[in-house]
Amino acid sequence: MEMEYVPLGRSGLKISRACLGAMNFGAPAGTPGCDEDEARSIIGAYLDAGGTIIDTADGYSGGQSEEIVGRAVKGRRDAVVLATKAFLPSGPGPNDRGLSRAHLTRALEASLRRLGTDYIDLYQCHQWDPATPVEETMATLDGFVRSGKVRYLGCSNFTAAQVVEAQWAAQRAGGTPFISLQSQYSLLARAIEAEILPACQRHGLGTLAWSPLGGGVLAGRYRPGQAPGDDTRIGRLKASPMPAARSWAEGMLTDRNLRIAAEAAAIADDIGASPASIALAWAASQPGITAVITGPRTLGQLHDNLEGFSLALPPDALARLSDISRPLGAEPVTGMGAHR
């Protein structure tokens, strides 16, 4: 396949349309995650295919994901846009989470150590922090850029209003704005089209779509009337200690979502592709979507997913998918889902 590269938001940074998500790397013992050998094979194959951006977070697998990614890209660091995130708890103390100057400063240093690098290409706020003034957060992040430890800034799971607040805060201080937003987006979750995507386009943010396969629903991994297996993403998240993760997982296996997945599977049969590649091709083709994050657990899943980025869906297939997945009514436009 020939990888496509596009600017990320209102910046000169170019990234591949396919973004490799590292949430599954270094899963805790006893879980069906991805061990380091498999993760390194996935990362190597992704880079060999022309992919350039790898997204992780300090909270993924207790920091193991960052460590694995750092070791895997060590010999190819300059070719990689390394993205990570901060917000999630790193300890029991009151300042061990959030977007305060106190927490972010420690979180950045810890991520740099785990990643084995002296700079991070894209440093992102994992979610909005209502307990910290946005001016404090943006001033702290600007200091990271001025120090050379961070090159670009982004956010994740922000609402349209929060995106605008952050950009205004950076502008008032003469600091560094965000160039990207990560948000849940797929055939099953299109709420960001109403407000969030227009706000990002207006304020210079590219959009990275997470969970484009709806936790595996659009890959055909679930059937009506069958409980998700413990080795599936939805099965794991339903047992998560995080309420937001459990809530997200429990809301994925609806009759409507399974009907959409069945339509994607039917189109896949018609054109000789996999359901996963159909869903990824649809997401990548939508206006305002800069890149799509795929989080494979196996090398086979990576190759299957990458096919979606070179697949041009016929107009009638695009129309069928867009029609069946169209939101039925007003949906809460929160930008939030399970922490990822």
Residues noted as catalytic? 60
Task: Please report how the helices 134-147 and 160-173 are oriented relative to each other, as an axis angle in degrees rounded to 10.
Answer: 60
* Backbone angles phi and psi of 238, in degrees to 5: -65, -20
Dist. CA 258–CA 261, nearest whole Å: 5
From first CA to last CA, the distance across the chain in angstroms is: 28
Nearest alpha carbon to residue 132 among 92, 86, 176, 172: 86
- Our CA angle for 243, 244, 245, nearest 5°, is 90
Long-range CB contact pairs, 214-217, < 8 A, 24+? 214/186, 214/187, 214/188, 214/189, 214/252, 214/257, 214/261, 214/279, 215/248, 215/249, 215/252, 217/188, 217/252, 217/253, 217/257, 217/258, 217/261
- Taking CA 41 as the corner, what is the angle to CA 305 and CA 3, rounded to the nearest 5 degrees? 45
Give ∠ CA 29-219-233 in degrees, rounded to 5: 25
DSSP structure class, residue 11: S
Rounded CA-CA distance 280/297 in Å is 16
